[in-house]
Structure 1
Amino acid sequence: MHAPIRSVAVAVLAAAALCSGCTAPPDTPAAPPPVAEPAVSAEATTQGAVSSAPAAPIVLLDPGHNGGNGANPAALRRQVPDGRGGTKSCNTTGSATNAGYPEHAFTWDLTQRVRTRLEAAGVRVVLTRQDDDGVGPCVDERGAAGGRAGAVAAVSLHADGSGPSARGFHVAHADPPVHGTGPESLRLATALRDGLRSGRFATADYIGQDGLDARDDLAGLNLATVPTALVEAGNMRNADDAAVLTSAEGRDRYAEAISAGVLAYLGR
């Protein structure tokens, strides 16, 4: 049992002796250590995701008139540019129902309802006024507000004050356009018209055509540099329209229809 072990040992010693004069091969360089990937925190990952997401579209809402206008006639009479080379009064008090419900209160309430729905759909909303007890702003400021806010669209909210037999809504847009927004303003007006129709509101039987009203005399439309339309939700002097305009349920219906029109225009 010991003989084979001794033979192996002798063979190994002999091989070592034969190579005693050999030159040793150069040392093989060690492999470089692996490079560690930089650590990415959960916070950084989240921030990266947020920064790469598309920004929310901005929509300007313009609640017509203001609660303090009636007490400040001199301020309202001040002349401002009308967008077509002339001037017109800064603003007006707006209309009211026969029972005294004012247009400025209606537009302010409606704007809040529309704003809530648009924000829930991921739209950023900017307003031309922040309360219902101030004066103005003037129509030229309202017209320029959408461009200053970087809005993709602007919607001015109103209710009309025509004769008592006139009924229905209409949506105004600038025609001829002043700042090259004509086709898109018409598309916005049409989307709003379609939204109101889908909400079971009747188009006006006394103004415009098929619910659309091409206008050249509204400074807020003439001075707009973004697609802009003006909704006259109904006639406050008409008893049937007034019943809807003055009820919370009716204003919810208007808000749902107008929001649907805006979102359809935005492709959302």
Structure 2
Amino acid sequence: MSAPRRAVPALLFGLLLGGSAGGCTAEPPPPSTVAEPPAMTSAAAEPAAARTPVVLLDPGHNGGNARARGMVNRLVPDGRGGTKACNTTGTSTTTGYPEHAFSWDLAQRVRALLSEHGITVVLTRPDDSGVGPCVDERGAAGERADADVVVSLHADGSAPDNHGFHVAYAEPPLNPAQSGPARVLAATLRDHLRDAGFPVSTYIGRDGLSPRSDLAGLNLSTRPAALVECANMRNPAEAALLSSPEGRERYAAAIAAGIMSFLTWW
């Protein structure tokens, strides 16, 4: 991966992370990493053409996973020297609304909102009726797409009394994209979801952020990547919100705003 377009200003880094994420107390980048703006060599010099931002959306699971257990259970690299299952079927509400359908619908809504702002959006799967792709393929997809940002979309399945969203990022970091930009991305998404009125998780992570070492898609990403668990599908109130088009549009608006906010820095 190429060097960041600009380094994280120390104050912004601290404000976004809030010093509250479990294990997320990274120091600001050393002065040697702070990029200086290029000097204009001529009054007639023209600015370079702006690059269209590319966002990779990774809607979790897939509609055909349940009928292909042998394929989704095969082991693939986890990015930290181990292995884990290619994929899973995901969870569902108690009334049967599946996570794969939720994440697919949410991805379409986020894509539509980002596309309105001229952002190129790539998805890790073409529909909600296939199998996979495996988590290692999803982890490599950002590099293949030359993406500026990678956001994986999920909903959780926990005890019914648990509620709230959390945003996961790879920790400890394995490459430069994970050591700073991914943390800023996670915090920015957290802030926009919280500002949109969604409560942070009561059962995992801290203050809506969850550093993880066990998620292969994040471990293997060489681009800034975060995974959003929007809510607990087993909580009745959150299940009703996730199952409604209006609720999914609210999540999509907050996530798209978070992505665009991150892109203004990155």
> Could you state the TM-score of these two structures normalised by the residue count of structure 1?
0.80
Q: How far does residue 180 in structure 1 lie from its aligned partner after superposition?
A: 2.1
> Residue type matched to 2:68 in 1?
N
Matches of 2:200 and 2:95 in 1, distance apart? 24
Q: Does 1:187 align with 2:184?
A: yes
Matches of 1:199 and 1:121 in 2, distance apart? 20
2:209 equivalent among 197, 205, 212: 212
Matches of 2:191 and 2:81 in 1, distance apart? 33
CA contact (8 A) 1:64 1:158 kept: yes
2:196 equivalent among 199, 203, 218: 199
1:172 equivalent among 168, 172, 175: 168
Q: Does 1:54 align with 2:50?
A: yes
| CA shift digits 1:131-188 (9 cap, x unpaired) | 0000000000000100111001100000000111110000000000112222100000
CA contact (8 A) 1:179 1:223 kept: no
Q: Does 1:142 align with 2:138?
A: yes
Which structure has the bigger radius of gyration? 1
| CA shift digits 1:189-210 (9 cap, x unpaired) | 0110011011110000000000
Q: Secondary structure at the match of 1:155?
A: strand
> Residue type matched to 1:217 in 2?
D
| Richer in helix (by share) | 1
Matches of 1:118 and 1:221 in 2, distance apart? 22
Matches of 2:50 and 2:264 in 1, distance apart? 14
Written as runs of structure 1 = structure 2, the 5 A alignment for 1:94-133 is 94-133=90-129
Q: Secondary structure at the match of 1:106?
A: helix
Q: Secondary structure at the match of 2:261?
A: helix
2:235 equivalent among 238, 259, 262: 238
Q: How far does residue 54 in structure 1 lie from its aligned partner after superposition?
A: 1.3
Q: Does 1:251 align with 2:259?
A: no
| CA shift digits 1:197-233 (9 cap, x unpaired) | 1111000000000000000000000000000000000
Q: Secondary structure at the match of 1:173?
A: strand
Q: How far does residue 250 in structure 1 lie from its aligned partner after superposition?
A: 0.1
Gap regions ≥5 residues in structure 2: 1-47
> Residue type matched to 1:111 in 2?
A
Q: How far does residue 242 in structure 1 lie from its aligned partner after superposition?
A: 0.5
Q: How far does residue 53 in structure 1 lie from its aligned partner after superposition?
A: 3.3
Matches of 2:195 and 2:262 in 1, distance apart? 14
Matches of 2:51 and 2:207 in 1, distance apart? 35
CA root-mean-square deviation? 1.2
Q: Does 1:160 align with 2:148?
A: no
Q: Does 1:263 align with 2:260?
A: yes
